[in-house]
Amino acid sequence: MVDRFGREINYMRISVTDRCNLRCLYCMPEEGIDYKLTHKDILSLEELARLTRVAASVGIKKVRLTGGEPLVRKNIEKLVEYIAEIPEIDDIALTTNGVKFKVMATRLKKAGLKRVNFSLDSLKPERFSYITRGGDIKPVMEGIFTALELGLNPIKINTVVIKGFNDDEVLEFAKLAYDYPLHIRFIEFMPVGDIKFWNEDKLIKSEKIKSRIEHEFELALPDKIVGSGPAKYFKLRGGQGSVGFISPMSNHFCGECNRIRLTADGKLRGCLYSKEEVDLMEAIKQNANDDELAEIFLEAINNKPRHHNFGSGWGKENERKMYQIGG
């Protein structure tokens, strides 16, 4: 399916829950969220699988499970299994904080999980604990090494770079990509989520991070593109993995955007940063058939804006938070 700006939309991110077992400073409020979504407010695994089948019928080929923390959703492996059975879907990925990954990894792989992105903002245990408000880095690192052992590929690490907090660790992250077949993606800090924590002084642009890495490592263009996301990748000459840069602030990539987003409560969004959404949950409650659901998908794809507009203000534009829409 091609949208009105000529972009092929073939990727759906599904936020399977708004809950999380961490409380990252820039994402969630300290006291936790006031959980509005109860069991009956969220789509069942079977409904999520049905909607994914319908999405596949209008051109979706890749699915990513995210949240909140997707691994806290009960029986998430079952959803992976359902999606793996849809012939048009050729890629099932996961974005996780990694806390529960090690214990679930084998089951997830068996169910059909192809690849995983871990979020990791510091390699230092005390800093990790600070930014996640009390999280333990140990199971996360074990999760990353378990993914390597299981041969999931590619394994990406998302690192939000925050000036004065973790920008001094950029080279240590690059070293990790040098030593292991890991793809570290440095993400510019965006004014989304819990925006009380964001301010412009904490933003450090990708170009600056890249030039710091270039002082220590020789960067070269990769032989093949690692996934179809918004990152610009470079391999580290002589090393095993790569570094990538995601620059929503300094260089938006909306012209190449190929995605739609489904929330746990059944709303479909064309853009993370726009409040426009269509209601699939309501349609399911009204007993819509698959053709009617497909129409709703087409509507969301058609309504995808040309580009995001941070300028209009995340807080004003979005009643929902990042953990509710899916990062």
Which residues are at the interface with ligand SAM (CB under 6 A)?
20, 26-27, 66-67, 69, 95-97, 119, 158, 160, 187, 189-190, 192-193, 322-323, 327
258 binds ligand SF4 (CB under 6 A): no
Q: How far is the CB of 211 from ligand SF4 (least distance, A)?
A: 27
Q: Of ligand SAM, ligand SF4, none, which one does residue 324 interact with (CB within 5 to 8 Å by kind)?
A: none
48 phi and psi angles, rounded to 5 deg = -60, -40
Q: Of ligand SAM, ligand SF4, none, which one does residue 242 interact with (CB within 5 to 8 Å by kind)?
A: none
Q: Of ligand SAM, ligand SF4, none, which one does residue 71 interact with (CB within 5 to 8 Å by kind)?
A: none
Q: Give the separation between CA 22 and CA 323, rounded to whole angstroms.
A: 11
Q: 222: cis peptide before it, omega within 30°?
A: no
Q: Give the separation between CA 14 and CA 9, rounded to whole angstroms.
A: 15
**Which residues make beta-bridge pairs with 116?**
94, 155
Q: Which is nearer to ligand SF4, 27 or 278 (CB)?
A: 27
Q: Of ligand SF4, ligand SAM, none, which one does residue 28 interact with (CB within 5 to 8 Å by kind)?
A: ligand SF4
Site residues for ligand SF4, 21-50, by CB under 6 A, read 22-24, 27-28
Site residues for ligand SF4, 120-149, by CB under 6 A, read none
Q: Which is nearer to ligand SF4, 241 or 327 (CB)?
A: 327
Q: Which is nearer to ligand SAM, 59 or 263 (CB)?
A: 263
The 8-class DSSP code of residue 254 comes to G
CB 324 within 8 A of CB 263: yes
Q: Of ligand SAM, ligand SF4, none, which one does residue 23 interact with (CB within 5 to 8 Å by kind)?
A: ligand SF4
Q: Which is nearer to ligand SAM, 89 or 93 (CB)?
A: 93
278 binds ligand SF4 (CB under 6 A): no
Of 9, 12, 14, 20, which lies in the binding site for ligand SF4, with binding defined by CB under 6 A?
Answer: 20
**Spatial CB neighbours of 162, under 8 Å, sequence gap ≥ 6:** 26, 121, 189, 202, 204
Q: Which amino acid is at 106?
A: T
Token representation of residue 314: 């995340």
CB 96 within 8 A of CB 144: no
Q: Which is nearer to ligand SF4, 76 or 296 (CB)?
A: 76
Q: Give the separation between CA 45 and CA 16, rounded to whole angstroms.
A: 9
Picking from 29, 20, 1, the residue whose alpha carbon sits closest to that of residue 69 is 20
Question: Which residue's entry shows tokens 């800093």?
Answer: 127
Residues in the interface with ligand SF4 (CB under 6 A) total 12
Q: Which is nearer to ligand SAM, 297 or 314 (CB)?
A: 314
185 binds ligand SF4 (CB under 6 A): no
2 exposure class (CB count in 10 Å sphere: 0-12, 13-18, 19+): exposed
Does the CA dihedral 281-286-292-295 come out positive or negative? negative
165 binds ligand SF4 (CB under 6 A): no
* Binding positions for ligand SF4, rule: CB under 6 A: 20, 22-24, 27-28, 67-69, 97, 119, 323
